[in-house]
Amino acid sequence: MRIALLGYGKMGRAVEAAAIERGHTIGAAVDDEDDWMEKLDEVRGCDVAVDFSTPATAVGNIMRCFDMNLPVVVGTTGWYDHLESVAHDCQQRGQRLFVASNFSIGMNIMFELNSRLARLMDSRPGYEVSISETHHIHKIDAPSGTAITLANDIIEELQRKERWVLTEGPGAKPARRLTRKTIPITSIREGEVPGIHEVTYDSDEDTITLRHSAKSRKGLAAGAVLAAEYLIEHTGICTMHDLLAAGESRR
């Protein structure tokens, strides 16, 4: 499988290493507009693209892939305000798109545990829920896409919560008033932390915490390569839920 890397920073290089380890080749690495102009034919010759670029360039990269009938796996977050329109285009044009806020297998297990715990807490109003996430100083968006996924999954299961709000971190608006219907999210940017996510339920009697800590980018990169392998055999819009379900069905 020939892979086009859209975004050739630390995550792009981690995907490159994971892909080569699984016997794939990198057909092109695109990191800016000049690269697109110089390497367009190389990208066209690939079987699939993997995007770990920036929130500002992700949508444009996706559309370019659609124009080339090139399946694209997107790990970039911070562009989800456009997800509905991108998904519509994907379906209308018969393209292939794999979107995930986090490609770590362990993190996706935590997503499942998070939803289950929220269901249990729906009948226990004495517990207040909050989320915190910590990433390296180079991460642009806050809160992380993973934290937003955790919050939205809680909102689906916990009837007393209706929205989330960033209360601390880049872009936070501390003046916004929290209510009982709000999930507060704290975003921390420090050092080279690959990613730590915590969901905490606190009551007068005790505290329950779900925590996932990535040790490196390797798990994320390996998951993205697995997603690329999955996508070239499927159509439409795919997620980690589809990938993990396929793995379960083969057991």
Task: Give the tens place of pLDDT for each residue, 23-80.
Answer: 999 999 999 999 999 999 999 999 999 999 999 999 999 999 999 999 999 999 989 9
pLDDT in tens, 216-227: 889 999 999 999
- In this structure, are residues 53 and 73 in contact, taking their beta carbons and an 8 Å threshold? no
Q: Using alpha carbons, select from 117, 103, 44 the residue that is nearest to residue 75.
A: 103
Q: Where in the chain is the domain with CATH 3.30.360.10?
A: 105-213
Per DSSP, helices labelled H in the chain are 10-21, 33-44, 58-67, 83-92, 105-121, 145-157, 218-231, 240-249
Positions marked catalytic? 135, 139
Percent of the chain with pLDDT over 90: 85
Percent of the chain with pLDDT over 70: 96
**Mean of the per-residue pLDDT values of the chain:** 93
Give the residue, 140 or 191, on which the prediction is more confident: 191
pLDDT for res 211: 98
- In this structure, are residues 26 and 73 in contact, taking their beta carbons and an 8 Å threshold? no
Question: Which one-letter amino acid corresponds to residue 92?
Answer: Q
For domain 105-213, the CATH architecture is 2-Layer Sandwich (3.30)
Q: Is CATH 3.40.50.720 the classification given to domain 2-103+217-249? A: yes
Question: Is the model's pLDDT at 172 over the cut of 90?
Answer: no
- In this structure, are residues 117 and 110 in contact, taking their beta carbons and an 8 Å threshold? no
211 forms beta bridges with: 198
Question: Is the model's pLDDT at 247 over the cut of 70?
Answer: no
Q: Where in the chain is the domain with CATH 3.40.50.720?
A: 2-103+217-249
Average pLDDT over residues 179-199: 94
Longest dimension (CA), the chain: 62
- In this structure, are residues 195 and 150 in contact, taking their beta carbons and an 8 Å threshold? no
Per-residue confidence band for 250, with pLDDT thresholds at 50, 70 and 90: low
Contacts of 40 (CB under 8 A, 6+ apart): none
Distance of alpha carbon 221 from alpha carbon 226, whole angstroms = 9
pLDDT in tens, 100-114: 989 998 999 999 999
